[in-house]
């Protein structure tokens, strides 16, 4: 099976399994989405969704978050890990949003990536899930599965993103990256599938006998 054939099968099968993939992080606006994505770094979406209701009940916009003491933010987000860094980033980016963007999350790649705690992946999630701009946020699931299915060589996440964009049409990116995540959690997990177990791995590489070791992001 050629790479383009594998990509076509993957896209078709994931669309069958997850025809309307929901956004994993609970949010009510682009600000709460931005904060939730920031908190999800090295943390599960499920844990973030348990933590954010308490935070967003205090402030669900940048202006109100500026009035919340940074220690209170830190105490609330502590279960997400890296609390000092994340708490400080939330406080700082909230101030910058008020000072430079009228309290609104900007629909601009450079402006987003200039915010404290916001890297390319976080900006990609906000652009795709918040503004509907075609983007490919590459998390651990996307990076692992793209390698297992022979869609990229796993050199780094930027290479995975570039290869993903070459293989799939822009109009599919926003749903497809979530479908990758859902499949990676349900069927092609890091420990439950070694590249020879799940349906898509077996279809893409029916003759693969040895476990496939994916490069970490």
- Output the CA angle 11-15-19, nearest 5 degrees: 155
Q: Are residues 168 and 118 in the same domain?
A: no
The pLDDT > 90 percentage for the chain reads 98
**Within-domain flag for 216:** no
Identify the pLDDT of residue 8: 98
Domain count, the chain: 2
Same domain, 93 and 142: no
Q: Clarify whether residues 107 and 149 are in a common domain.
A: no
Percentage, residues of the chain above pLDDT 70: 100
Q: How far apart are CA 59 and CA 152, in angstroms?
A: 41
139 is catalytic: yes
Residue 217 has a pLDDT of 83
Q: Is residue 213 a part of any domain in this protein? A: no
Spatial contact of 204 and 14, defined as CB atoms under 8 Å apart: no
What does the pLDDT read at residue 84?
A: 94
The predicted-structure confidence for 128-143, as pLDDT tens digits, reads as follows 999 999 999 999 999 9
Residue by residue, DSSP assigns the chain as: --HHHHHHHHHHHHHHH-SSPPPSS--SSHHHHHHHHHHTTTS-HHHHHHHHHHHHHH-SSHHHHTTS-HHHHHHHHGGGS-HHHHHHHHHHHHHHHHHHHTTSPPS-HHHHHTSTT--HHHHHHIIIIIT--------HHHHHHHHHTTS---S-HHHHHHHHHHHS-HHHHHHHHHHHHHHHHHTS-TTT-SSSSSHHHHHH-TT--SPP-PPP-
Q: Which of 45, 121, 163, 194 is catalytic?
A: 121
Give the C-alpha distances (Å, rounded to integers) separating 117 from 12, 105, 163, 164: 35, 14, 26, 25
Residue 50 inside a domain? The answer is yes
Q: Are residues 89 and 39 in the same domain?
A: yes
List the CATH number of the domain containing 148. Answer: 1.10.1670.10
Q: Are residues 104 and 153 in the same domain?
A: no
**Same domain (yes/no): 108, 162:** no
**Could you tell me if 63 and 85 lie in one domain?**
yes
pLDDT of 30-56, one tens digit each? 999 999 999 999 999 999 999 999 999
Confidence of residue 9 (pLDDT cuts 50, 70, 90): very high
φ, ψ at 54 (rounded to 5°): -65, -40
Sign of CA pseudo-dihedral 155, 136, 115, 61:
negative
Mean per-residue pLDDT of the chain: 97
**Residue where a domain terminates, one of 104, 130, 156:** 130
Structural domain span for residue 165: 3-21+136-204
Domain final residue pick, 115, 130, 145: 130
Ramachandran region, residue 174 (left: φ > 0; alpha: ψ -120 to 50; beta: rest): alpha
Specify whether 110 is located in the same domain as 151: no
* Residue 37's CATH number: 1.10.340.30
The single residue of 139, 165, 166, 209 carrying the catalytic annotation is 139
Single out the residue in 68, 99, 130 at which a domain terminates.
130
Q: What is the mean pLDDT of residues 165-191?
A: 97
Same domain, residue pair 111 and 155: no
């Amino acid at each position: 099976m050629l790479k383009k054939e594998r990509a076509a099968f993957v896209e078709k099968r994931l669309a069958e399994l997850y025809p309307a993939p929901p956004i994993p992080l609970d949010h009510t606006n682009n600000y709460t989405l931005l904060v939730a994505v920031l908190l999800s770094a090295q943390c599960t979406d499920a844990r973030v969704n348990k933590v954010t209701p308490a935070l967003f009940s205090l402030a669900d916009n940048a202006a109100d978050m500026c009035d919340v003491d940074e220690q209170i933010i830190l105490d609330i987000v502590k279960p997400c890990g890296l609390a000092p860094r994340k708490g400080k980033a939330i406080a700082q980016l909230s101030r910058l949003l008020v000072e430079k963007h009228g309290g609104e999350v900007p629909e601009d790649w450079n402006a987003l990536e200039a915010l404290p705690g916001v890297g390319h992946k976080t900006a990609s999630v906000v652009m795709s899930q918040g503004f509907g701009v075609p983007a490919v946020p590459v998390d651990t699931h996307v990076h692992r599965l793209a390698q297992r299915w022979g869609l990229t060589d796993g050199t780094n996440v930027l290479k995975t993103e570039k290869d993903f964009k070459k293989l799939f049409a822009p109009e599919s990116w926003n749903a497809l990256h979530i479908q990758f995540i859902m499949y990676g959690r349900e069927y092609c997990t890091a420990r439950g599938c070694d590249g020879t177990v799940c349906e898509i791995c077996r279809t893409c590489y029916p003759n693969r006998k040895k476990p496939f070791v994916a490069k970490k992001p």
